[in-house]
Structure 1
Amino acid sequence: MEVGLSIELESLGTLTVIIARQFLLPGTGRGGRLIGEAGELTWKSERVNATQLGASSGDWVRLHPDGTVTVDARLVLRTDDGATIAMTYTGKADRPPAEGGVVWTAPTFETDDERYAWLNTVQAVGRGQRNGNVLVYELYALR
């Protein structure tokens, strides 16, 4: 029996992260840790336009001995019409983003605003690349 398991991608727009500061812990017992504070966030799409809310957004990157990295980010955004959205994503890169590594992520979302409740059911994927202190992701919902 064949089951139709095709996956479609629906654009969720562009997420831009401007990194304000970073802290490096190079030799922890589980590899290195790079903690990045977001100074500015913007998410622009057909359905969501949002910017950073507060100063709690950041990324805790694990630097593995083989040169790969694991991403663990938590972001808080406010839409242009007043909704609050929490975005969480983990991901991988074959080398640190600051060294040109492409970051592959799997974002999920949380909101208590009915206008954006559809985000609570979305599993997204993203591809990001860093240039200087700016990290730009293209985001897609899996359908």
Structure 2
Amino acid sequence: MSLPAVPEAYVPRDTSTLSIPQVKRLDFKTEYLFTYTMQLPSNDPPFIIGKTTSGLELIITERGTRVSGTRINGTFIRDGNDYVTLRPDGTSIHEVRCVILTDDGARIKFTYKGKGDFGWPAGYKEVLEGRMPGKVKIRCGPHMETSHPDYLWVNALQCVEVGEVDVVGRYGTFDCYAVV
């Protein structure tokens, strides 16, 4: 099936007639904030919600998450839940909301949405057949919020996170960086 023609109103403009200044690429750096390591409980396998129009929906429970870093140290309160949409191409969307309780008593809301890789192209089919991959790489963009006076600086951050879940070893580890 071919796509319909693009309506005239949506055809890109001839940019040669625009007055756009010459700009240079904007540089940025990252600042390492912390690493967190979580345990996947052996007695709590992923809860499969089922197939939806977006893909296979499941919830992965995380326990015993420790946060250690240069500026933030603590634990996640209670269990964390990773709401995962596993798409037919083997990629995944992850949505997580949790709270970091710092060692000095601050409460920091920590949320992220990101993408993972369950294995292309067979990951989706294998999970449907009850087989999880050995490892899942996850990349995401966390946000943090707090009212604690010692941590107000986190409210202005946009972060990036690089992680990997070792399904066989039943743990995950993630490095969190601020974009500065």
How high is the sequence identity, in percent, across the aligned residues?
32
Residue 14 of structure 1 deviates from its aligned partner by 0.4
Q: Please identify, of 19-28 and 7-16, the stretch whose mean Cα deviation from structure 2 is larger.
A: 19-28
SS of 1:76's equivalent?
Answer: strand
Aligned equivalent of 1:49: 73
Residue 54 of structure 1 deviates from its aligned partner by 3.0
Residue 10 of structure 1 deviates from its aligned partner by 0.4
Question: Is the counterpart of residue 124 in structure 1 residue 164 in structure 2?
Answer: no
Question: Is the counterpart of residue 40 in structure 1 residue 64 in structure 2?
Answer: yes
Residue 30 of structure 1 deviates from its aligned partner by 2.5
Q: Which consecutive residues of structure 2, in runs of 5 or more, have no partner in the other structure?
A: 1-21, 124-131
In 2, Cα distance between equivalents of 1:72 and 1:66: 18
Question: Is the counterpart of residue 67 in structure 1 residue 90 in structure 2?
Answer: yes
TM-score of the aligned structures, taking structure 2 as reference length: 0.73
Kindly provide the CA deviation profile for residues 40-76 of structure 1, in whole angstroms up to 9, marking residues without a partner as x.
Answer: 1111111110102234x21101010111101101111
Q: Please identify, of 89-98 and 9-18, the stretch whose mean Cα deviation from structure 2 is larger.
A: 89-98
Aligned equivalent of 2:142: 107
SS of 2:153's equivalent?
Answer: helix
Q: Which consecutive residues of structure 1, in runs of 5 or more, have no partner in the other structure?
A: none
RMSD between aligned alpha carbons? 1.8
In 2, Cα distance between equivalents of 1:87 and 1:3: 33
Aligned equivalent of 1:139: 176
Question: Is the counterpart of residue 91 in structure 1 residue 114 in structure 2?
Answer: yes
Q: How many residues align?
A: 142
SS of 2:49's equivalent?
Answer: strand
Q: Quick one: structure 1 residues 114 and 3, their matched pair in 2 at CA, closer, same or farther if it must change by over 3 Å?
A: farther
- Asked which structure has the greater RCO (Cα within 8 Å, sep 6+), the reply is 1
Question: Is the counterpart of residue 17 in structure 1 residue 41 in structure 2?
Answer: no
SS of 2:48's equivalent?
Answer: strand
In 2, Cα distance between equivalents of 1:90 and 1:51: 20
Aligned equivalent of 1:77: 100
Residue 3 of structure 1 deviates from its aligned partner by 4.1
Greater CA radius of gyration, 1 or 2?
2
Residue 93 of structure 1 deviates from its aligned partner by 1.6
